[in-house]
Structure 1
Amino acid sequence: MIGIPLWMVVQFVDFSKQTIIKQIIYAVSLCLFTLFVWLAVAYIILYILVPIAVFDTLWTSIFVRIVVGLLVYIGLWQWYKRMLFQENNEDSIIEKKIEQPNEVESKVILDTIVTKEGSNIRVISLIEIVYLQAEGDYVLIRTHDGGYVKEQTMKSFEQQLPAHQFVRVHRSYIVAVAALKGIELYEKQQYVLLLKNGEKIKMSINGYKLLKQQLAL
């Protein structure tokens, strides 16, 4: 529960763009707010569920609860910062592609992708692909008739797929241009990609820029 108010704020706010003093003020303020909400909700629930005599004794454990809350808060904050670093690192790679569109590399361009599941082998034509999604050390290849898993990295797919047919719109998604239906703004500088099959995919800011460049918008 303590992570809910924290996540509601940090997923839309990049504190790293602020000065050090403001970062400290925001972090402390968010910590106090999160602890207050967590303790208030916890004690309200306990007040409703337990007898008054038992509830009165629970106040002696508030210090322990605050310490536990602080430890959980710090853990969640560090996890968020690590996720933000990974996101920014992926975005910086996309940004370099935007800034250097004429850079030519020696690479193999795919025209099909071969997957194997047990004894079954599937040869997937590029025109069948809707999008590719990162799944740990694997990539899920979503086609018009289902999904297929291949042990390969998103980076290698990004390098080997035809640039005029596929765009990496997020660190976890490479989308086929032919599968696009539209783009929607759902938060400030946050976009969702609409696909012809009805699915929606979140785009990063630089992924949005790269897609606009690809579509000549």
Structure 2
Amino acid sequence: MNFFLPNNLSRILTISVLCVVYAFMQALAFRSLVTFPFPQLMLDGMMNALFFTGVSFLLWKVVKYGNFETLEIYQRFINYTALGFLAITIWTGLGYISAFLVFNPKNLMEAIKMFPLKAFVAFLIYLLLVQFFRVRLAEREASPQPVDEDTEEDLLKPGDIGTEEIQPLERIVIRSGQKINMIQVSEIVYFRAEGDYVRIFTDSDKFLKEETMKYFQLHLPEKQFVRVHRSYLVNTVKILRIELYEKQNQLLTLSNGDKIKISASGYKRLRERLGL
């Protein structure tokens, strides 16, 4: 929690500065196109920037959980195009409302002159944001995740297991666009929790499924899969190396090349399972 507030304050400050810069640039761009005073143009620019900030937050959620990267190229193109059209339409609609509030309703027709250029700028920003989000997700997946010992209560407890015999899963069915993927459990390298979803990694691909980590921990072969962290469930067969990381932490190197940190309690469970 000590590091949460500074990071959030830094993020808010960065967004605020970007909004002011955008408002200033927009006011300069439209200064010669319309007759509105510069302060009014600045206010309109600030409102547009704030609207797009909200749309960008929703866009990040869609890109993060949309699982677009597993689709075919043409399907990705269609999805991103439709998403861009929706984002720009929402932003333009909100911009129309802000123009109605900022400028005199009698001057609304003059304010509409700015909309084609606004829509073009929104399109460019959308392209930059989507690319930024994709790079950010790729970097997050490639880098080891931090260990959070305070949230180990999310792990499966003995009381979570009922008296009925549970048949271990042999395969997992995942719908991706128009495809239905059948993943053999033996092909899975590890699972990673992502909110209400679980990301499933194999040696050559990754998939997103709406399910809980507890479900998979309960229904996968117990001798083969170990919960090494509240966010990770690992196939022990796919572990290549266990090495020391930053003095007291352990780092797993897996068969697909990914590296993940494990918690102290997770390392203890892994050692017990491997008989180390």
Shorter-chain TM-score range? 0.5 to 0.7
Q: Report the AA paired with residue 257 of structure 2.
A: G
**Paired AA for residue 214 in structure 1:** R
TM-score normalised to the size of structure 2?
A: 0.44
Stretches of structure 1 lacking an aligned partner (at least 5 in a row) = 11-33, 39-82
Cross-structure match for 1:134: 193
Distance 2:267 2:151 in 1: 14
Give 1 or 2 for the bigger CA radius of gyration. Answer: 2
> Alignment length, in residue pairs?
134
What whole-Å deviation, never above 9, does each CA across 1:28-79 have from its counterpart, x for those lacking one?
Answer: xxxxxx9xxx9xxxxxxxxxxxxxxxxxxxxxxxxxxxxxxxxxxxxxxxxx
Verify: 1:111 aligned to 2:160, yes or no: no
1:214 matched residue in structure 2: 273
Question: Which SS does the other structure have where 2:182 is aligned?
Answer: strand
Q: How far off its partner does 1:188 sit?
A: 3.8
Task: Write the distance in 1 (CA, Å) between the matches of 2:271 and 2:199.
Answer: 25
Q: Which structure has more helix as a fraction of its residues? A: 2
Which structure 2 residues correspond to residues 137-216 of structure 1 after superposition, within 5 A?
137-216=196-275
Q: Secondary structure at the match of 1:131?
A: strand
Question: C-alpha deviations, 1:61-115, integer Å up to 9, x for none?
Answer: xxxxxxxxxxxxxxxxxxxxxx96852423xx46x66xx9xx9763231000000
CA distance in 1, matches of 2:269, 2:193: 19
Name the Cα RMSD after superposition. Answer: 2.9
Give me the TM-score of the superposition, normalised by structure 1. 0.55
Helix, strand or coil: the match of 1:208?
helix
Map 1:57-72 onto structure 2 (within 5 A): none
- Which of these residues, 154, 164, 182, is aligned with residue 123 of structure 1? 182
Is the 2:249–2:263 Cα contact (8 Å) retained in structure 1?
A: yes
Offset of 1:166 from its aligned partner? Answer: 0.9
Separation in structure 2 between the aligned mates of residue 192 and residue 122 of structure 1, nearest angstrom = 30
Gaps of 5+ in 2: 11-146
Contact 2:240 2:255 survives alignment (8 Å): yes
* Cα distance change, pair 185–107 in 1 and its aligned pair in 2 (3 A): same
Q: Within 1, Cα distance between the matches of 2:245 and 2:148?
A: 20
What is the identity, as a one-letter code, of the residue corresponding to 1:89? E
Helix, strand or coil at the partner of 2:165: coil
Q: Percent identity?
A: 44
Q: Which residue of 2 aligns with 1:89?
A: 153
Instruction: Give how far 1:145 is off.
Output: 1.9
* Pairwise CA distance, 1:204: 0.8
Greater strand share, structure number: 1
Distance in 2 (CA, whole Å) between partners of 1:190 and 1:84 is: 11
What amino acid is the match of 2:271?
K
**AA of the residue aligned to 1:183:** I
